Structures are given as C-alpha cells and as structure tokens.
Amino acid sequence: MKSQIILCSGGARSGKSEFAERLALATKGPKAYVATGQAFDEEMVDRIKKHQERRGKIWNNFEVPLHLADEWENISQSADVILIDCLTMFTTNHMMAYGSIRGQEDANRLEQTILSELDTLLDSIQSCEGKTVIFVTNEIGLGIVPDNKLARYFRDIAGRVNRAVASVADKLYLTISGVTIELKSQEVHING
C-alpha cells in the first residue's frame, strides 16, 4: 500500500493541530510527532508547552526545526503514522537561518532552498510503503497584504510551500473556528 499524504490547514488557533492529532490517533499504527517549532520567545515557549501537554506520551517525539528530509529515514522507521506540525514554522526557521534577506533575489534563493528540501521529503514519503503522513500548516494568505517586504516574502514563500504539499496530498482539510471540512475531493480541474 502506498503512503498517504494529508494536509491540515487553517488560521492561527483555528483547531487545525487538534484535528490533525485526532486524525492521527484514529489511524492504526505507531505514532510519531515531528515538531518544527523553536522557542525564540516567551509566546513560543508557551505554545510549545501547550502542544506537548496536549500530546501526552503516546507519540515518538522528534524536534526537527530544519532539514526534515535528512531526518526522514529515522522518523519513518519509528512510526507508521507521522504528524509534522508545522510547515509554517519550518518555513520561518529557514528564514531565520538564512539571515538577512536584502531583496527579491535573496527571497527567490531562500524559496528555492525550502522547496528543494520539501520536494526531497515528499519524494521520500511517496517512495515509502504504508505510511500516513499528516502535515499541519497555517493558511496565512487570506488577509491583507503585509505592509513590509519581509512579511510579504514570508507570506509568498509559505503559500508556495503549502501549494507544493497540497498538490501531492491525498486529502486536504481546512479548519475554520474549530470546524473542519475536506477540500481535496472537491477540487476543480480545468483541462485545456
């Protein structure tokens, strides 16, 4: 049986991570939780603590802020159901590691680096048998256009990261205000 990729998206505090966790728990097999968040400030310390408390001890836990593709083999050997939370922090971590983004050329180079790593990870997932991999991400492109260049670069890169995963996902869930709907089965295809 080929591996299944699922993307769970939604706004901040929408309930997407809780939904993804319930979905993973309802899926048979050993579980792994891949946390990409880093505690850069007090708010992230609190957010990470709440996520850890909610998860409990039934998961094989991995903290992988960068280089998910490099860690895939180790992660995939530990579980059949793998939750990666979240792609937005993964993108943020790459931006922080990159350093100063002085213009569009730097932003393009950073985006290519992130998408290249993501493509390698997705290829590795698709070459596995019998895994269910659930990605969590923030849908950040629905609001106003940010007033500063760095925030616009982030929004655009995060949007492309989400699109890359959504394009290969078997299912795509969107959570709004705690209500989740499945979107992939309703995708419209236009030929021509």
Report the catalytic residues: 51
142 phi, psi to nearest 5 deg? -95, -10
In whole angstroms, what is the distance from residue 171 CA to residue 162 CA?
13
- 85 labelled ligand-binding: yes
Residue partners of 86: CB distance under 8 A and separation at least 6: 17, 36, 37, 135, 136, 137, 138
> Is 29 annotated as a binding-site member?
no
| 15 annotated binding-site participant | yes
70 is in an annotated binding site: no
76 has binding-site annotation: no
Q: 115 Cβ partners below 8 Å, 6+ apart?
A: 160, 161, 164
Q: Is 53 annotated as a binding residue?
A: no
Name the binding residues. 10-17, 35-37, 63, 85
Name the binding residues for GTP. 10-17, 35-37, 63, 85
